[in-house]
Structure 1
């Protein structure tokens, strides 16, 4: 079976293009993190409950995740570039509509549109990387994209907190609209079509269904998929619940919360950096096993602290940082392994992975919104369960794959 163990490339992919694809793929992180400090003021301004504001997170992740199930096959049929550009236009327009929202229902609807536009960038970015690379080059390129994505948690919450000092919450969405315009111009100039017409698939619904059926029936793909979105749940349990934990449970100000969120984002960035720089030397299996080992230790420590010393915020933050580090290391390697299967349906596979990762994030956000109050104990349990699921699925994939090659 396909393994990410070589350094071959097809057409190659430049450092600049990886940075741009990372910036496009970061739309989800930026669109979420920049307005987290404003959730309390949004609830007050729109006369909404905190649970309704939390739904703007959940609906965004659901739309961003499962919308990829449509845009992935569409890019297999029409090409990567037109799907990417169309999504960016939708994203930018809906960001403006979010800023103009005067009630929570209209904001939720526009957040859904924003997610659907942004997800086209994510699914086509992964597909472009797979079009242009193979082997460890795919894993390294995806880790590079992940590194760019993780810059968003480092700066977006702090930017969001600063915006609130100088203006009301709609200013955050005007900022996102400007970012969308920059992405549109950059994509027009720098991104060429990577999926030739000779390799394109039919857009007929039956062919799309057939593609997803092939994904579902491939046991290797499914095990890696569950391993990847389980790790994503561990990450998104923190992301979607962090405002409730740090702002409400611990009472941090929006500015202090933004700084703390940035600190936590450095953990994911560190994991991505380690993966990118060492996967070519030690291989994907060593990176994943190392990450899962750190996850097991750090989530166990977090469980203990959350249950017996929840008032020790410094220790909780340190344990969380080490829980987030393996998320940056193992997730791009899961995806790189999965994208080696079904080479004629790269867009569909990319959508399959992205849909379940972000879609499960939306479900996680909705679940978290149902807890009143949401406590460090609940967060620790959810993170530990997610990492356990990820480890079990990966180890099962490894055993089955190893037997198939003997």
Structure 2
């Protein structure tokens, strides 16, 4: 596939940016915005809050299963059809949730919505298809920044929707947004995506190829560990701010809004550094900041009483590190198998999903020492990621030296 068939025109790229940001919003919207509606859902269906939490777990499982299939399939039949079909399924699932009065039926439609939302994993593949070089790096910085902002403001949006429209409000907004984005994707994207020679591998063979690369897995693990630091904080933040610090839900939502503002600042910093230092240096700098945030968190936990400032200060440092390291490591990983961008995106998203879920679950097992546990988590994860980055760098240098030696002998 030549450059002109692979890289979008400037006008397409401008439309693609808004489409990708909308896909990111729809990817986090069904999970985080619904959290403030748990009591209302429990009352409506006559279930306990823990039973309602099952809908979140099933939603996560549905997305994980769907994205494993969608990525490799998109490498063969193209992105547009799968994206449109996925959004259509998620829209119908959300509509079914709104109309449900039986909890079992609600769970069925919730899983249906999740299976459709698996199509949003194609955002990384579309970046690989439509952009190149520094444009990809800048867009991935924007996407990481947007993800953090959307997740951070979701509780406040969910509180507002619950107060004005009830628990169905988040579903109605999701349906409206999905319908708009579906039309936008239909008009913007090409009907098909040419497949490069060698891309038509079988499902298992495609995953075997990408996951057999140490560099590919290593870069995605670096991205996953950086994401896990952010995701773990989001998951346990209600326990810290609402349970331990006794904040009201509205005050808690405002705290997360401040945290979202830190993502904007981190994104600006990452955009500036992206023009002056290499991707490897960005990864190292970002992970070093996460390590520093963990050490600051541990110091504050040992020497000061628990407070909002004692948690937010190190988290702001961590946020800067996340917005630096994740886009750079993701770009490095996605660039290794450009002809299998869908499979690469699905494999990487699954790695991130598993790491974020497991690590946040482990942290929540020590509710009495959440601040210190979070600090230790940052130190360990960033330390392991720094070692991985160093190992990848050495392997790349060794390979380059071997190629130079072969060229000299030839």
TM-score by length of 1: 0.86
CA shift, 1:335, in A, is 0.9
Distance 1:383 1:22, change over 3 A: same
CA shift, 1:74, in A, is 0.9
CA shift, 1:103, in A, is 6.2
CA contact (8 A) 1:62 1:362 kept: no
CA contact (8 A) 1:55 1:369 kept: no
CA shift, 1:54, in A, is 4.3
C-alpha RMSD of matched pairs (Å): 2.8
Pick the structure with greater CA Rg.
2
Say whether 1:63 aligns with 2:62. yes
CA shift, 1:91, in A, is 1.6
1:171 is matched with which residue? 169
Structure 1, 333-342 or 274-283: larger mean CA deviation: 274-283
Distance 1:198 1:135, change over 3 A: closer
Q: Bigger relative contact order, structure 1 or 2, given CA contacts below 8 A and separation 6+? A: 1
CA contact (8 A) 2:79 2:192 kept: yes
Distance 1:47 1:310, change over 3 A: farther
1:28 is matched with which residue? 27
Return the match for 1:382 from 371, 374, 377.
377
TM-score by length of 2: 0.86
Distance 1:236 1:58, change over 3 A: farther
CA contact (8 A) 1:294 1:323 kept: yes
CA shift, 1:331, in A, is 1.0
CA shift, 1:75, in A, is 0.5
Which consecutive unaligned segments of at least 5 residues does structure 2 have? 1-5, 402-410
Distance 1:129 1:103, change over 3 A: same
CA shift, 1:49, in A, is 4.6
2:3 is matched with which residue? none
1:141 is matched with which residue? 139
Once the two structures are superposed, residues 199-248 of structure 1 have per-residue CA deviations (whole angstroms, 9 ceiling, x without a partner) of 5844xxx7110111111211111111221111121121112222233222
Which consecutive unaligned segments of at least 5 residues does structure 1 have? 1-8
1:156 is matched with which residue? 154
1:290 is matched with which residue? 285
Distance 1:120 1:307, change over 3 A: farther
Question: What does residue range 115-264 of structure 1 map to in structure 2 within 5 Å?
Answer: 115-121=114-120, 123-193=121-191, 195-197=193-195, 201-202=199-200, 207-264=202-259
- Where has structure 1 moved over 6 Å in runs of 4 or more? none
Question: What does residue range 11-22 of structure 1 map to in structure 2 within 5 Å?
Answer: 11=8, 14-22=13-21
CA distance in 2, matches of 1:402, 1:310: 47
CA distance in 2, matches of 1:169, 1:352: 33
CA distance in 2, matches of 1:266, 1:186: 28
CA shift, 1:40, in A, is 4.5
Say whether 1:342 aligns with 2:340. no
CA distance in 2, matches of 1:88, 1:392: 39
Once the two structures are superposed, residues 323-363 of structure 1 have per-residue CA deviations (whole angstroms, 9 ceiling, x without a partner) of 22222221111110011112321111111111211233334
Structure 1, 46-55 or 260-269: larger mean CA deviation: 46-55
Distance 1:91 1:200, change over 3 A: farther
CA distance in 2, matches of 1:269, 1:70: 33
Distance 1:358 1:101, change over 3 A: farther
CA distance in 2, matches of 1:45, 1:304: 45
Return the match for 2:390 from 378, 391, 395.
395
Total equivalences in the alignment: 394
CA distance in 1, matches of 2:191, 2:324: 29
Structure 1, 244-253 or 207-216: larger mean CA deviation: 244-253
CA distance in 2, matches of 1:321, 1:335: 21
CA contact (8 A) 2:241 2:308 kept: no
CA distance in 2, matches of 1:254, 1:45: 21
Distance 1:242 1:293, change over 3 A: same
Distance 1:379 1:116, change over 3 A: farther
CA distance in 2, matches of 1:231, 1:187: 30
Structure 1, 333-342 or 263-272: larger mean CA deviation: 263-272
CA contact (8 A) 1:160 1:258 kept: no
Once the two structures are superposed, residues 52-110 of structure 1 have per-residue CA deviations (whole angstroms, 9 ceiling, x without a partner) of 44444444334334532211011011101001111111222222333445566655554
CA contact (8 A) 1:61 1:359 kept: no
Distance 1:16 1:168, change over 3 A: same
CA contact (8 A) 2:33 2:157 kept: yes
